[in-house]
A and B are shown apart, each in its own frame.
Chain A
Amino acid sequence: MKEQNRRLPADSGPIPSKSGAGTPDHHTMTQRGWFILLTAYMLALVGFGLVYEPTRELWTGLLRIAQSPGVLISDYAKIGGLGAAMVNAGLVGLSGLLLVRTSGVLLSGPTIAAVFTLAGFGLFGKNVWSIWPIILGVGLFSRVVRRPFKSYILVALFGTALAPLVPQVAFGFGLPPLPGLLVGTIAGLFAGFLLPPMAVYMLRLHQGFNLYNVGLTCGFLGIAITALLESAGLKMTLAAHWSEQYSGILGVVLLIYVLSMVVVGVYLTRGPGRMRSLVREAGTLPSDFVEAHGAGTALINMGLVGIIGWAYILMTGGVFNGPTLGAVLTMVGFAAFGKHVVNVLPIMLGVYLGSLLSVWQPGQAGPLLAALFGTTLAPLSGRFGPPLGVLSGVIHLTMVMRTAPWHAGLNLYNNGFAGGVTATLIVSVITWWSSWHEEHLIKR
């Protein structure tokens, strides 16, 4: 090969080096810095839980959470108490963070999204043991195909959407404890093993316009697993654990949590950072905002997107509880990987308008979660404009209110599943329209 072709790019900007150390300018942060910051955010959840709940209640709460199937919607604040739910969320997030760190994978947009998503769902569906069989199943797949585990780490982390399968099989079908645990673990391993090839294929359906792609994957797999279990006479039902008593304190805690990200981001960038260029991105997969715009700007965006989620809950009269807090944490995480203050708003407006025009109220559990998690479709708005974003939100609402029973709540990323179906529908029509339009214009 000609050596002159191997020249370095003209502007290295904030793109991390191969070692992952990053360029130490005002916009970025070292890997060590990111690790410390994310650890602090996860430990803040644990710390709040420890302070809020007396020790004895905390342990019994954590035990109840560990034994709960965790299918949608299982608000752990309702099942185990607020303190136990927060401790669980922090520990689940820390588990993901340590896995990323020990695997030698960069802490950047996608992994930050995964860590906050894990923590968020640690408030309603994932616990510190139910996630591991899925992760190990993905690890087993990587061994079989002789690829390093880090190649599939994102599928492993997001694939924990199927974590409820483990306690559901272990405790939900009346099996004795030890055989139940064994069969539940095997079921998790099996599901994890199937995820990587499916997840890669699913991307093609929506061309990267559904940010929760593993949610779409887990939706299809969840339907198959549910059908298999029900054919064996094992019935499953959706859960309805939805707390309302902690709304006041959680609203304050969430606001402080996301505001602190803006403060850290502004401190790093000494100003608004590169927000103007960030909001011009469509946000299609994979859009790593940390890599493209720097750590400080990404943190400002994460905080602002979190504030939008917080304000929407307040505006619609919804409650702050495990699921809604989890939804905002997921939004915050994905604000490092595709979502920004401009592309999420049309989707949320669409879900809001859809709620007003339908039989649902915007502040009810389903529509509220649809508006927050529906921002998985933000790239549609970013690429094709706000009107299509609003339309996507309306369609997403109608889809997501149907899909949870299909997989009996086993897939925690139900909005990722419905969003994937919605994005596939819209992308297929736009693809047809754009080629027809082009052909039509050429003929004229």
Chain B
Amino acid sequence: MLKEKQKIAHLLGELVPYALVGGPEKVTITIEDLTDVIQVTMEDMGAQRDENACRQAERFLNISGRNELKEYYSGLVGEESLGPCDLRIVGMMVDGGSIEQIEGGTRISVWWKRE
């Protein structure tokens, strides 16, 4: 479980800066333990987001089957204070994700199977 806790902490280190870039008034984070799956959902209210950038970020979240990148570049998760802030590293760490427009903001969800 310690590994999962570390993974969640590191992923939040990527997701939160992504949310803050849009200048939101409120950010809500929900972490759910769904037996065999862990889901992290983040809602940022009042953030300004570019639709194309959101679609690109969603594509990054749904790249799968890249084991060669996942283990190695996991070292960068949550460590990129100067990085591109585009969720591409988050996408390597999770099994899937979505970015949805909700009333007054954006909802970002990522999930992965528990190891």
State the total of A-B contacts with C-beta under 8 angstroms. 110
Q: Which residues of B contact A155 (CB under 8 A)?
A: 72
Within 8 Å by CB of B67, from A19, A151, A196, lies A151
Closest B residue by C-beta to A8: B62
Q: Tell me how far the C-beta of B102 lies from the nearest C-beta in chain A, rounded to whole angstroms.
A: 12
A151 vs B75: C-alpha distance when bound (angstroms)? 13
B109 at interface, CB cutoff 8 A: yes
* Interface: B8 (CB within 8 A): no
Is B66's CB within 8 Å of the partner chain A? yes
With beta carbons under 8 angstroms apart, the residue of B63, B73, B96 that contacts A203 is B73
Contacts of A148 in B (CB 8 A): 67
- B37 contacts across to A, CB distance below 8 A: 1
Nearest CB of B to A118, in Å:
15
**Cα distance A201–B73 when bound, in Å?**
10
CA distance A111 to B67 in the complex (A): 12
Decide if A204 is an interface residue (CB 8 Å cutoff). Answer: yes
Whole-angstrom distance between the Cβ of A100 and the nearest chain B Cβ: 9
Partner of A286, one of B89, B98, B100, B109: B89
Interface window among A38-46, A85-93, A427-435: A427-435
Assess whether A13 is in contact with B79, with CB atoms less than 8 Å apart.
Answer: no
Q: Which residues of A contact B68 (CB under 8 A)?
A: 105-106, 110-111, 150-151, 153-154
B80 at the interface (CB under 8 A from A): yes
Most buried by A among B55, B72, B79, B96: B72
Q: Is the CB of A285 within 8 A of B76?
A: yes
Beta-carbon contact of A147 and B98 below 8 Å: no
Q: Is the CB of A203 within 8 A of B71?
A: no
Nearest-CB residue, chain A, relative to B107: A5
Give the docked Cα–Cα distance between A118 and B96 (Å). 33
Cβ-defined contact, A282 with B84, below 8 A: yes
Q: Are A151 and B73 in contact (CB under 8 A)?
A: no
Query: Would you call A279 an interface residue if the criterion is a C-beta within 8 Å of the partner chain's C-beta atoms?
Result: no
Partner of A207, one of B55, B62, B82: B82
Interface size bracket, B side:
35 or more
Is B34 in the interface zone, CB < 8 Å from A? yes
A50 at interface by CB-CB < 8 Å: no
The residues of B that contact A285 with a CB separation of less than 8 Å are 73, 76
A6 at the interface (CB under 8 A from B): yes
Residues 332 to 385 of chain A near chain B (Cβ within 8 Å): 383
Task: Tell whether, in the assembled complex, residue A110 and residue B69 are in contact, meaning their CB atoms are under 8 Å apart.
Answer: yes
Q: Is A266 an interface residue (CB 8 A)?
A: no
**B84: A residues at CB distance < 8 A:** 282, 284, 383
Give the residue name and chain of the A residue nearest to B100 (CB). A5
Tally of chain A residues near chain B (CB < 8 A): 50
Distance in angstroms from B114 CB to nearest chain A CB is 12
Known contacts A284-B84, A427-B82; A106 and B65 CB within 8 A of each other: yes
Report whether B82 and A200 are in contact in the complex, using a CB–CB cutoff of 8 Å. no
Q: Which of B64, B75, B79, B111 has the most CB of A within 10 A?
A: B75
Asked if A203 and B79 make an inter-chain contact with CB atoms under 8 angstroms apart, the answer reads yes
Query: Are A208 and B76 within 8 A (Cβ)?
Result: yes
Residue B59 contacts which of A12, A111, A147 (CB distance < 8 angstroms)?
A12
Q: Is the pair B75, A204 in contact by a Cβ cutoff of 8 Å? A: yes
Interface centre among B32, B63, B68, B79 (most CB of A within 10 A): B68
Cross-chain contact A10 with B72 (CB below 8 angstroms): no
Determine which of A7, A10, A17 lies in contact with B55 in the assembled complex, contact meaning CB atoms within 8 Å.
A10
With a CB–CB cut-off of 8 A, which chain A residues contact B111?
A: 1, 5-6
Residues of B within 8 A of A288 (CB): 69
Query: Which B residues between 47 and 99 are near A, CB-CB below 8 angstroms?
Result: 55, 58-59, 61-76, 79-84, 88-89, 92, 96, 98
State which residues 1-43 of A face B: CB under 8 Å.
1, 5-13, 15-20
Query: Is the CB–CB distance between B72 and A208 below 8 Å?
Result: no
Closest to B62 in A: A9
Whether B63 lies near A20 (C-beta < 8 A) is no
| Cβ-closest chain B residue relative to A427 | B82
What A residues does B92 contact at CB under 8 A? 286
- Given A150-B68, A152-B71, 19 more A-B residue pairs with CB atoms under 8 Å apart are A1-B34, A1-B39, A5-B39, A5-B100, A6-B111, A9-B59, A106-B68, A148-B67, A151-B71, A152-B72, A154-B68, A154-B72, A196-B72, A207-B80, A207-B81, A207-B82, A207-B83, A208-B80, A209-B82
Interchain Cβ contacts under 8 Å between A and B, 15 examples: A5-B100, A5-B111, A10-B55, A18-B65, A150-B68, A151-B71, A154-B69, A154-B72, A203-B73, A203-B76, A207-B81, A282-B84, A284-B84, A286-B76, A383-B82
4 closest A-B pairs by beta carbon, nearest first, are: A200-B75, A151-B71, A203-B75, A18-B65
